[in-house]
Amino acid sequence: MGQLLLKVAGLLVVGLLAYNYFFGTPAEKESSAQVFAQVKDLSSSVVNLLKSEKEKFDEGKYNDALARLKTAIGLEREHAESLGEQGEECLAHCEHLHERGLSLEAELQAVSENADLTESDRQAAVEGIHDRILQLAGDTETLAGKLRL
């Protein structure tokens, strides 16, 4: 329901801008032209950002981030092992985080090797992996905080 309202509101705004651009007063035409110019600038900025992220992906940015996370998880595992029985729950959590890291690494590899993906599909996959890497980093940090207590 909310998505439908947003779509209708978006169409109304675009329709109003287009109407003012073609049939409005000179002030309305100028205002609409400015809005269209700003949207064009925003679109080009988004495209440049996506290109930059793609280049970083191609250069292995996310592989480096995963490698650092795997190192951190390994250090937390060692710390949990040193706690003995008290660290068993954290040790299991470390194993789960390690498995998630391996899964993300495999996904990155699959995306980079899949020549059949369109650029937009590749970018969507990379964004999803990026979000999950950030989540893994947050979960690793949370575990580290538990082990420090």
Same domain flag for 34 and 71: no
Q: Which residue has the tokens 């002030």?
A: 27
Same domain flag for 78 and 135: yes
Structural domain includes residue 55: no
The C-alpha atoms of residue 55 and residue 29 are separated, in whole angstroms, by 39
Number of helices and strands in the chain (H, E):
5, 0
Task: Tell me: pLDDT of 4 over 70.
Answer: yes
Structural domain includes residue 50: no
Same domain flag for 118 and 64: yes
Q: What's residue 51's pLDDT?
A: 74
Q: Which residue has the tokens 């060692």?
A: 78
Task: State the pLDDT confidence band at 90, using cuts at 50, 70 and 90.
Answer: confident
Q: What would the pLDDT profile of 16-64 be if each residue is shown by its tens digit?
A: 878 888 888 998 888 888 887 887 777 777 777 767 776 776 667 777 7
Task: Tell me: pLDDT of 110 over 80.
Answer: yes
Structural domain includes residue 27: yes
Q: What's residue 139's pLDDT?
A: 87
Task: Tell me: pLDDT of 87 over 80.
Answer: no
Structural domain includes residue 53: no
Q: Which residue has the tokens 């996959």?
A: 125
Question: Comparing C-alpha atoms, which of 79, 83, 100 is closest to residue 143?
Answer: 79
Same domain flag for 72 and 9: no
Structural domain includes residue 133: yes
Same domain flag for 70 and 107: yes
Same domain flag for 136 and 77: yes
Task: Tell me: pLDDT of 146 over 80.
Answer: no
Same domain flag for 39 and 70: no
- Taking residues 83-107, what's their average pLDDT? 85
Query: CA-CA distances (angstroms) from residue 130 to 8, 126, 135?
Result: 31, 6, 9
Q: Which domain holds residue 26?
A: 2-43
Q: What's residue 58's pLDDT?
A: 66
Same domain flag for 65 and 39: no
Indicate the average pLDDT of the chain: 82
The C-alpha atoms of residue 96 and residue 100 are separated, in whole angstroms, by 6
How many structural domains is the chain composed of?
A: 2
Structural domain includes residue 64: yes
Q: What's residue 149's pLDDT?
A: 58
Same domain flag for 28 and 66: no
Task: Tell me: pLDDT of 118 over 80.
Answer: yes
Structural domain includes residue 51: no
Structural domain includes residue 91: yes
